[in-house]
Chain A
Amino acid sequence: MSDQNNNSENKELEALMAETIGVKIGPHKSWDPVNQPMIRHWAEAMDDKNPRYTDPEFAAGTEEGSIIAPPTMLQAWTMRGASWKHAPGTKERAADQPYVLDILDDHGYIGVVAVNCDQEYFRNLVPGDDISHYMEIEGISEQKQTGLGVGYFVTELWTFVDQNDEKVGEMRFRLLKFCPPKEAPKAASKPAVESDDKPKKALRPRPGMNKDTRFFWEGLKEGKLLIQRCTSCQTLRHPPTPMCPSCRSLERDAVEASGKGVIHSYVNMHHPDLPAFDASPNPVALVELEEGTRLVAGLIGIEPEDVRIGLPVQAEITQCDDELALALFRPVSEK
């Protein structure tokens, strides 16, 4: 399936999916009522020392008058066991009942990623509570172009009830089912979807920085590529350091580079194929600036196979995400 819209095919698919919205499946019963041993195991595993979970004496003085289950355990009570079976009394989805994720699989949207999961709690659970849950498809987005491929965002609504059928909590679990592009096995090609539904684009690895180097990164945020300068002997240096290796002075400032340079060497980076990088392979150069210092920087506006040592390049300060600006380099067209 191509990532071009094929309207009639989409309409058919979307109609099939629409029929699955709002159909309640369940109940899914718990193997055990809310109980102290499972609470204690959970609290230990999470290293959560809240005495309301494990200390009956302390808990006697609280509103519930007994220990409570950590709210985030909500989903744990009704989980299938290791046998992958729900507890007796569960009413599973009938085999012939259409299910949106299966429908999407059948139409080639075989990729799946979890996007987010929100839980809401209406009361604290105490030992003895017997929890069940129902699941329904709450919503399906329109078709979206995402960094992973064309796909649909599907929201599942899980409703948790107690032994009196009273609602104790809800969970919204959102997935992206997508059609992986044929030729590119990697993630994110371009900055993905526009809507709030967009899965977060993976960020580039953060640079470590400290008191000696922070000015360089701050400079980039202001659109400047800076080179450190020794104010005693005027020697330029990169990467920045507290002491000038030429004259051992600690006095320093920075000058703004013209951004003109030449590729001194380069790497086309294939593995690991990090989703934060648009190009695969990702071309990265060692650029010698006209001021004389060198720095490593990604290349833009060039195919990896066209990169050459000696190619003139120009810095382009690029805001990669909210926090990170980098000097990337673009080839200068030769006249």
Chain B
Amino acid sequence: MANGLSGQAAIVGIGATEFSKNSGRSEMQLAVECVTQALADAGIDPSEVDGISTFTMDNNPEIEVFREIGGKELKMFSRVHYGGGAACATVQQAAMAVASGVCEVVVCYRAMNERSEYRFGSGMQNTPAESDYETTHYGWYIPHGLVTPASWVAMSAQRYLYDTGATTEDFGRIAVAARQFAATNPNAWFYEKPITLEDHQNSRWIAEPLRLLDCCQESDGGVAIVVTSAERAKKLNKEPVIIKGAAQGACDDPQMMTAYYRKDISRLSEVNLVAKQLYKQAGMTPDNIDAAVIYDHFTPFVMTQLEEFGFADKGKAKDFIRSGQIEMGGRLPINMHGGQLGEAYVHGMNGISEAVRQVRGEAVNQVDKVENMLVSAGTGVPTSGLILGKG
């Protein structure tokens, strides 16, 4: 057996709050709302939850969520680091806990008022005298004015353009495609608000070569995912969505957002590491993937990911995108919910939900005959990924 994880666990429930710019309630309330909704979707009583996995960046303690939903015995609680890079890894933690028999029902969640209470886009400026590791790390960048995630990604993106001959219009095509899907998704913040390539090119600079429309939204919202064993999944409400691959990756002189010291900074080697593991676990190649959710905090890294996951050769994502392959009817439709550019920015967890809906066949922008979906997580940081599919 290639590994003991593939096919052992399934996603059986998804839940989400509305996505907004001001939820009007606490992050904790968002968390318990989406968690109970996901459990209801699965048809599992909240008292059965015995494992929890979330992000280190989430502000809602596992035990408090557990306590409020009436949990009885919590046997595994884990948090994954590196911002949005944690998204698919929370599901990997859940799958490993279930596959090993440690847990029966694991909930993964992310709930945040990232727009109304604090904004990652406003930048990092204050530092204590004797700093912890990560504050020290950002000290190499913030005195020069690189204070935001957009600015850190822009440095890699500029080199990508130079190395590949892609243009900022290619970034724009990704934004246009995402907003096209969002326009027909009533849950998307940008529902009925498509954009043109011209709109993209006319939007203001944030950190050249990134424009405003290359950057994901800042959102309030919560998303939860319920994982249990593939065996039990057969007896539940919804068609099981089998976890066929689940992987994390960090390699090649990794850094948090600023992997500027590796030889080739226009690649994302950690995404390649995740891809290799996923295909091996699932016994698949890119040919088996029908559609994907590609983490889109910033458009340039969507291009790099398409290359690292094997849908385009190095430097050729531009041709893949220009020929419409990421749109409906193309070789690999991506982000049919509108992505984080169009639906909402919930650190990638809303993308996992979309993949589940696609496999179940209940998405608003449903791709025909989906057998297997690829999902990626935050990039420019140590990352993670999933292959989800029909049983």
Interface residues of chain A, those whose CB is within 8 Å of chain B, are 204-213, 238-239, 245, 264-272, 274, 276-277, 281-282, 284, 286, 293-298, 304, 309, 320, 324, 326
Q: Is A206 touching B205 in the complex (CB atoms < 8 A)?
A: no
Secondary structure type dominating chain A contacts: loop
Chain B residues with CB under 8 A of A274: 123, 125, 145, 147
Q: A212-B136, A213-B136 are in contact. Are A267 and B127 (CB under 8 A)?
A: no
Docked CA distance A206–B156 (Å): 24
User: B159–A205 contact, CB under 8 A?
Assistant: no
Which residues, 82 to 138 on B, are CB-close (under 8 Å) to A? 121-128, 130-133, 135-138
Whether A213 and B158, one on each chain, are in contact in the complex, defined by CB atoms closer than 8 angstroms, is no
Which chain A residues lie closer than 8 Å to B128 at the CB level? 208
> Given the complex of chains A and B, what is the CA–CA distance between A309 and B121 in angstroms?
26
B206 adjacent to A270 (CB under 8 Å): yes
B261-A269 in contact (CB<8A): no
**Which residues of chain B from 140 to 174 have a CB within 8 Å of any chain A CB?**
140-148, 150-151, 154-156, 158-159, 162
The complex places the Cα of A296 from the Cα of B135 at a distance, in Å, of 16
* Interface flag for B305 (CB, 8 Å): no
With known contacts A205-B127, A208-B135, A268–B207 Cβ distance under 8 A: yes
Q: Are B151 and A269 in contact, CB atoms less than 8 angstroms apart? A: yes
Interfacial chain A residues near B151, Cβ < 8 Å? 267, 269, 284
22 A-B Cβ contacts within 8 A?
A: A206-B126, A207-B142, A208-B139, A209-B136, A210-B130, A210-B132, A213-B139, A239-B261, A265-B162, A266-B155, A267-B154, A267-B158, A269-B151, A269-B208, A272-B147, A276-B145, A277-B145, A284-B155, A286-B260, A296-B144, A296-B260, A309-B159
Beta-carbon nearest neighbor of A276 in chain B:
B145
Q: Which residues of chain B come closer than 8 Å to A269, judged between CB atoms?
A: 145-146, 151, 154, 207-208
Query: Of the candidates A208, A272, A294, A304, which one forms a contact with B148 in the assembled complex, judged by CB atoms under 8 Å apart?
Result: A272
Beta-carbon contact of B206 and A208 below 8 Å: no
- Most interface-central of B136, B143, B147, B155 (chain A CB within 10 A): B143
Q: Do B147 and A205 touch across chains, with their CB atoms under 8 A apart?
A: yes
B positions within 8 Å CB-CB of A: 121-128, 130-133, 135-148, 150-151, 154-156, 158-159, 162, 204-208, 253, 258, 260-261, 265
User: What separation, in Å, do the CA atoms of A239 and B261 have in the docked complex?
Assistant: 9
- Distance, CA A293 to CA B263, complexed state (A): 11
Judging by beta carbons under 8 Å apart, are B162 and A206 in contact? no
A265 nearest CB neighbor, chain B only: B159
Given known A-B contacts A208-B131, A267-B158, A298 and B145 have beta carbons under 8 A apart:
yes
Known: A205-B142, A284-B151. 17 other contacts (CB 8 A): A204-B143, A204-B144, A210-B130, A210-B136, A239-B261, A267-B154, A270-B208, A271-B150, A271-B204, A271-B207, A272-B123, A276-B145, A284-B155, A286-B159, A296-B141, A298-B145, A309-B159
Min CB gap B48→A, angstroms? 44
Instruction: Give the residue name and chain of the B residue nearest to A277 (CB).
Output: B145
**Complex Cα distance A297/B145, Å?**
9
Given A207-B127, A267-B207: A324 and B261 interface contact (C-beta under 8 Å): no
| Chain A nearest Cβ from B127, distance in angstroms | 4
Closest 10 CB pairs of A and B: A208-B131, A207-B139, A208-B135, A268-B208, A265-B159, A208-B139, A208-B127, A205-B142, A205-B125, A267-B154
Instruction: Give the residues in chain A near B132, CB-CB below 8 Å.
Output: 208, 210
Shortest Cβ gap from B223 to chain A (Å): 27
Minimum C-beta distance from B260 to chain A (A): 5
CB of B136 within 8 A of CB of A270, answer no
Interface centre among A213, A277, A293, A304 (most CB of B within 10 A): A213
| Interchain CA distance A334-B123 in the complex, whole Å | 36
Given A265-B162, A309-B158, does the pair A281, B205 have CB atoms closer than 8 Å? yes
A296 to B145, CA, bound (A): 10
Q: Residue of B at shortest CB range from A274?
A: B145
Which residues of A sit under 8 angstroms from B131, Cβ to Cβ?
A: 208-210
Could you say which residues of chain B place their CB within 8 Å of the CB of A238?
Answer: 261
Beyond A270-B205, A272-B123, is A294–B159 a contact (Cβ under 8 Å)?
no
Give the residues in chain A near B208, CB-CB below 8 Å.
267-270, 281, 304
* A268 pairs with B162, CB closer than 8 A: no
What A residues does B260 contact at CB under 8 A? Answer: 264-265, 286, 294, 296
Closest chain-B Cβ to A269's Cβ sits at a distance in Å of: 5
How far apart are B201's CB and chain A's nearest CB, in angstroms? Answer: 15
Residues of A contacting B139 with CB < 8 Å?
A: 206-209, 213
- B254 → chain A, closest Cβ, in Å? 11
Instruction: A206 to B126: give the CA distance in the assembly, Å.
Output: 6
Smallest CB–CB gap between A212 and chain B, Å? Answer: 7
Instruction: Considering the complex, give the chain A residue whose CB is closest to the CB of B119.
Output: A272
Q: Which residues of B contact A320 (CB under 8 A)?
A: 143
- The residue on A at minimum CB distance from B215 is A271
Pair B158/A265 contact, Cβ less than 8 Å: yes
Q: Are B206 and A265 in contact (CB under 8 A)?
A: no
User: A271 near B206 (CB under 8 angstroms)?
Assistant: yes
